[in-house]
Amino acid sequence: MVRSFVGGLELIVSLLKSKDVEVLASVCAAIAEIARDEENLAVITDHGVVKLLSNLVTRTEDIVRRYLAEAIAECCKWGNNRQAFGDNQAVAPLVKYLKSTDPNVHQSTAKALHQLSKNPMNCVTMHEAGVVRLLIEMVGSRDEILQENAAICISYIRRLALANEKSRNG
């Protein structure tokens, strides 16, 4: 039973190689749900979910972006996945998602950026990609989840900037 379940998770992760927009969106949504369980997240991480999700960040379809960002947010909660997303150049392209006209994309992207911002190098990448101005706009949203995630991400970036300033000035 366990072996077949793990095989099912492996199959789901492999579907991230699909070219079909609906399949990609659905698989990303499924991965976001699956990753909420720590053991499942460990298994899909072992099957290369971070690299495969990272390969999709340049997609332009909002339906894919929404669920991809959700999946990234959840997958950040295991081991070195936050750093791995940064190492796979997945962070800067996510910042562009905040320019979407879809509020669902904004919310899921803010969740992903919040999780990714717990890694200092990702904060640097986000800052260089111009995330602060975009997140400040999101803090003014009526969507409380979006507000909170945007504010937390800004706070991590600010803390890193203050720490760098303090270390330079002694």
- The model's pLDDT over 61-86, given as tens digits with 9 standing for 90+, comes to 999 999 999 999 999 999 999 999 99
What pLDDT band is residue 164 in, cutting at 50, 70 and 90? Answer: confident
Give me the mean pLDDT over the 146-166 stretch: 93
Asked which of 51-60, 143-152, 159-168 is least confident by mean pLDDT, the reply is 159-168
Give which of 73, 64, 86 is closest to 36, Cα–Cα: 73
Asked which of 5-14, 22-31, 122-131 is least confident by mean pLDDT, the reply is 5-14
Mean pLDDT in the chain? 95
What pLDDT band is residue 161 in, cutting at 50, 70 and 90? Answer: confident
pLDDT of residue 135: 97
Domain boundaries, the chain: 2-169
Q: What's the start-to-end Cα distance of the chain, in Å?
A: 58
Report percent pLDDT > 70 for the chain: 96
Give me the mean pLDDT over the 145-158 stretch: 97
Is the per-residue pLDDT at 3 higher than 60? no
So what's the architecture of 2-169 in CATH? Alpha Horseshoe (1.25)
pLDDT of residue 92: 98
Give which of 38, 17, 99, 36 is closest to 65, Cα–Cα: 99
Sole residue written with tokens 């793990």? 6
Cα→Cα distances 7→40, 43, 98, 109, Å: 12, 10, 35, 29
pLDDT of residue 1: 45
